Amino acid sequence: MTAARLALAAIFGLTFAPALAQEPQRVITLGGSVTEIAVALGAEPRLVARDSTSTYPVRITALPDVGYIRALSPEGVLSLTPDLILAEGDAGPPEAVEVLRATGIAFDLMPNDPSPRGVIDKITAVAAALDLPKEGAALAAEVKAGLEAAEARAAAVTKPKRVLFILSLQGGRVMAGGEQSSAEAIIRLAGGVNAASGFQHYKPITDEAVLAAAPDLILMMDREGDLAIDNRDVLAHPALAETPAAKAGAILRMDGMLLLGFGPRTPEAASLLYTALYGAEG
Per-residue pLDDT, 282: 54
Per-residue pLDDT, 23: 74
Distance, CA of 143 to CA of 158 (rounded, Å): 25
pLDDT at 220 over 60: yes
Torsion of CA 237, 235, 253, 279, to 10 degrees: -130
Distance, CA of 192 to CA of 90 (rounded, Å): 26
Mean pLDDT over residues 135-152, rounded? 98
pLDDT at 56 over 50: yes
3-state secondary structure string across 53-113? CCCCCHHHHHCCECCCCCCCCHHHHHCCCCCEEEECCCCCCHHHHHHHHHCCCEEEECCCC
Cα radius of gyration (the chain): 21
What is the percent of the chain where pLDDT is above 70? 91
The larger pLDDT score, comparing residue 282 to residue 62, is at: 62
Per-residue pLDDT, 28: 98
Per-residue exposure over 156-192, b if at least 16 CB sit within 10 Å of its own CB, e if not: ebeebbbbbbbbbbeeeebebbbeebbbbbbbbbbbb
Please, which residues bridge with residue 176 across strands? Answer: 166, 203
Mean pLDDT over residues 239-251, rounded? 97
The larger pLDDT score, comparing residue 140 to residue 4, is at: 140
Per-residue pLDDT, 153: 98
The whole-chain average pLDDT of the chain stands at 92
**Maximum CA pair distance of the chain?**
65
Backbone angles phi, psi at 192, to 5 degrees: -105, 180
Backbone angles phi, psi at 99, to 5 degrees: -65, -45
pTM over 0.85: yes
Per-residue pLDDT, 281: 58
What is the percent of the chain where pLDDT is above 90? 85
pLDDT digits (tens, 9 = 90+) for 200-212: 999 999 999 999 9
pLDDT at 66 over 70: yes
Which sequence spans correspond to the domains of the chain?
3-110, 162-278
pLDDT at 268 over 80: yes
pLDDT digits (tens, 9 = 90+) for 158-185: 999 999 999 999 888 999 999 999 999 9
pLDDT at 10 over 50: no
Distance, CA of 141 to CA of 149 (rounded, Å): 12
Mean pLDDT over residues 124-147, rounded? 98
From the options 3.20.20.70, 3.40.50.1980, 3.40.50.1370, 3.40.630.30, give the CATH code of 3-110.
3.40.50.1980
Residue 116 and residue 270 in contact, taking contact as beta carbons nearer than 8 Å: no
pLDDT at 4 over 80: no
Is residue 22 very low, low, confident or very high in pLDDT (cuts 50, 70, 90)? Answer: low
Residue 199 and residue 207 in contact, taking contact as beta carbons nearer than 8 Å: no
Worst-scoring range by mean pLDDT, 23-27, 56-60, 215-219, 245-249?
23-27
Distance, CA of 187 to CA of 116 (rounded, Å): 13
Distance, CA of 98 to CA of 116 (rounded, Å): 30
Per-residue exposure over 117-139, b if at least 16 CB sit within 10 Å of its own CB, e if not: ebbbbbbbbbbebbebeebbeeb
CATH architecture of 162-278: 3-Layer(aba) Sandwich (3.40)
Q: Considering Cα of 21, then 26, then 28, then 32, what sign does the dihedral take?
A: positive
pLDDT at 111 over 60: yes
* One fold for 3-110 and 162-278: yes
